[in-house]
Amino acid sequence: MTPLLQVRDIAKFYGGRVGCTNVSFDLYPGEVLGIVGESGSGKSTLLNCLAGHLAPDQGEVLFDTRADGQRDTVTMSEPERRMLGRTDWAFVHQHARDGLRMGVSAGGNVGERLMAVGARNYGNIRTQALDWLERVEIAGDRIDDRPSAFSGGMQQRLQIARNLVTGPRLVFMDEPTGGLDVSVQARLLDLLRGLVRDMGLSAIIVTHDLAVVRLLADRLMVMKSGHVVEQGLTDQVLDDPQHGYTQLLVSSVLQV
Amino acid sequence: MSDYNFAYLDEQTKRMIRRAILKGLAVPGYQVPFASREMPMPYGWGTGGVQVSAAVLCPEDTMKVIDQGADDTTNAVSIRKFFEKTAEVATTETTKEADVIQTRHRIPEQDLREDQILVYQVPIPEPLRFLEPSEVETRKMHALEEYGLMHVKLYEDIARNGAIATSYAYPVKVEGRYVMDPSPIPKFDNPKLEMAAVQLFGAGREQRIYALPPYTQVVSLDFEDHPFDPSKADHPCGLCGSEDSYLDEVIMDDSGSRMFVCSDTDYCQSRRAAGHVGHQGVPFEEVSA
């Protein structure tokens, strides 16, 4: 089986400072990879490099495109990369307002990606938007409300619906549960787990919450100061951490 | 002899504007940046249109200026006087006799010919502006032909109002490539954008010029199940009885009576001169006598 995403020796520097360096991994279809680490460890830099939001200083990111097989997304042209960004890729931001259009109704937010790839039938767009709102547990009668009238958890679920409507194969998530209270977090995680399994999505989840990766991720990468210090199966890494930093991370989780 | 250079602007400025116009004609619908000059009138009064008109006017040309279809409103009168004074060109109110027509928010009802130029005043040239505030991003969207967002606006219209409620500045796609704001003309005028005359659009404050060469394909955006509808008030003109011209609604008194009249004053007047009388009008001879 060819990996969906092959990352080879990615590095990004901010002047003399290291954003992330020497990162390589393979991601197979249907696999969920968690990236954990403390603030400033280069998790988000890495994610943005992979998703094409930042240009890495070296390395290659090979994505298995539907049309012509493996392509390096770092060197492909910008229109092609942006096209991937609204078809095969999805990006869930930590803050829903970064990923939503706050002045546009929920239906319009979900429909935007459909219209961006050429849907021109209002009835169909609306039906799909309704279907997706239902799948992320937002009542259908809220379809014409603006996201500003939604709670934080609903905004986050709307953002997920908006991203998944075009049936992407790879989802990038940057702290998808950050800033939500624990019960809302739990529902969101449950929803995400269901969607990932149902749609056979591959996902890369950046978080500092070990509970999130324990629930969602098949494999885990631990980052510190821009370097990957440990990677392996999630349960293996969390139950038997080898690197000193990982041990510290695991032991610092509060038990209640 | 006037103390002004011909048509107010200096020759170098007019050359610069003509270059922008030529580029705009070569790439229909593309917004060409130009170094807009300070004009002796406020922004919003047609400084872009005036600069474009000044760049294309010749001394032997006849000019017509219309504002919302009318020749006799403040904006039209002041710009017409401006060119009478600074360019000493002949002016007219008759569409057929004009070589250059500067317009605000209307296309004349009379079909234009290949030897005429229609100059539009444009307040905001960027059709995506109210959806995407970043100019960097909108220019990228134009460059990469990413126009899904324009349909989001139309989607919102239908979701809120049951129909596409955008009734002016209705977005169009030019020659299957650039999405363009046709300036705030009523959508009734959109089908007329495919015409024989050269159409030039000038936005002074935003410093953009764009253009439509003659017979350019211009398609109004819509949905398959909500097609574009160039609607107008469902009445005949009260003065000339025309059934197919764009109408203004005029409030007559405090008790709610109103009348609908052609917004194109020249069209209405020439119809009345030809003997057409609407149900609230009087024969043309009695007024002019």
Q: Is B58 a catalytic residue?
A: no
Measure in Å the smallest separation between the Cα of A116 and chain B Cα atoms: 4
Measure in Å the smallest separation between the Cα of A151 and chain B Cα atoms: 21
pLDDT for B182-235, tens place per residue? 999 999 999 999 999 999 999 999 999 999 999 999 999 999 999 999 988 899
CA distance B219 to B176: 8
Which residue, B2, B10, B82, is CA-closest to B50? Answer: B82
Q: Which amino acid is at A137?
A: E
User: Pairing mode, if any, of strands B247-251 and B178-180?
Assistant: unpaired
Which residue, B2, B201, B197, is CA-closest to B87? Answer: B2
- Mutate which of B140, B145, B153, B156 to disrupt the A interface (most A C-beta within 10 Å)? B156
The angle at the Cα of B159, spanning B155 to B165, to the nearest 5 degrees, equals 75
* pLDDT attached to residue A133: 94
- Does the structure show a pLDDT above 80 at B1? no
**Nearest residue in A to B142, CA atom:** A79
CB contact under 8 A, A123 and B225: yes
Task: Write out the two tokens for B72.
Answer: 């006799």
Of the candidates B131, B149, B223, which has its C-beta nearest A122's C-beta? B223
Q: Is B202 helix (H, G, I), strand (E, B) or coil?
A: strand
User: Residues of chain A whose C-beta is under 8 A from some C-beta in B?
Assistant: 78-79, 82, 86, 101, 103-105, 107-108, 111-113, 115-118, 120-123, 125-126, 143-144
pLDDT for A79-115, tens place per residue? 999 999 989 999 999 999 899 999 999 999 999 999 9
Which helix (H) or strand (E) segment is A126 a member of?
helix A122-135
Neighboring chain B residues of A115 at a CB cutoff of 8 Å: 148-149, 151-152, 155
- Mutate which of A122, A130, A146 to disrupt the B interface (most B C-beta within 10 Å)? A122
CB contact under 8 A, B224 and A120: yes
Determine if the pTM surpasses 0.90: no
Q: Kindly tell me the burial class for residue B74, based on how many C-beta atoms sit within 10 Å of its own C-beta (0-12, 13-18, 19 or more).
A: exposed
CB contact under 8 A, B155 and A78: no
pLDDT for B83-95, tens place per residue? 999 999 999 999 9
- If you ran DSSP here, which 8-state letter would residue B256 be given? S
- If you ran DSSP here, which 8-state letter would residue B70 be given? B
Q: What is the phi/psi pair of residue B31, to 5°?
A: -85, 110
**Nearest residue in B to A111, CA atom:** B152
For B244, what's the count of Cα atoms within 13 Å in the CB-facing half-sphere? Answer: 4
- Does the structure show a pLDDT above 90 at B30? yes
CB contact under 8 A, A101 and B131: yes
CA distance B288 to B266: 15
Of the candidates A104, A121, A123, which has its C-beta nearest B156's C-beta? A104
- Helix (H) and strand (E) counts for chain A? 10, 10
> Cα B99 to chain center, whole Å?
16
- Radius of gyration of chain A, Cα coordinates, nearest whole angstrom: 18
List B29, B46, B48, B49, catalytic entry: B29
To the nearest whole percent, how much of chain A has pLDDT over 70?
Answer: 99
CA distance A83 to A61: 16
Of the candidates A103, A116, A122, which has its C-beta nearest B226's C-beta? A122
Which helix (H) or strand (E) segment is A157 a member of?
helix A152-164
* pLDDT attached to residue A252: 84
Q: Is B268 a catalytic residue?
A: yes
* pLDDT attached to residue A183: 85
* pLDDT attached to residue A187: 86
CB contact under 8 A, B160 and A144: yes
CB contact under 8 A, B159 and A123: no
Q: Is A39 helix (H, G, I), strand (E, B) or coil?
A: coil
CB contact under 8 A, A122 and B158: yes
Measure in Å the smallest separation between the Cα of B157 and chain A Cα atoms: 10
Beta strands in A210-254 (DSSP E): 219-224, 227-233
User: What pLDDT tens digit does each residue of chain A (256 aa) get?
Assistant: 889 999 999 999 999 899 999 999 999 999 999 999 888 899 999 999 999 999 999 999 999 998 888 999 999 999 999 999 989 999 999 999 899 999 999 999 999 999 999 899 999 999 999 999 999 999 999 999 999 999 999 999 999 999 999 989 999 999 888 878 888 888 888 888 888 888 889 999 998 888 889 888 999 999 999 999 999 999 999 999 999 999 998 888 776 6
Confidence at B39, pLDDT banded by 50, 70, 90: very high
Q: Is A21 helix (H, G, I), strand (E, B) or coil?
A: strand
- If you ran DSSP here, which 8-state letter would residue A118 be given? T
ipTM: 0.86
Q: Is A206 helix (H, G, I), strand (E, B) or coil?
A: strand
CA distance A204 to A43: 11
Measure in Å the smallest separation between the Cα of A234 and chain B Cα atoms: 39
Measure in Å the smallest separation between the Cα of A121 and chain B Cα atoms: 5
Q: What is the phi/psi pair of residue A193, to 5°?
A: -60, -45
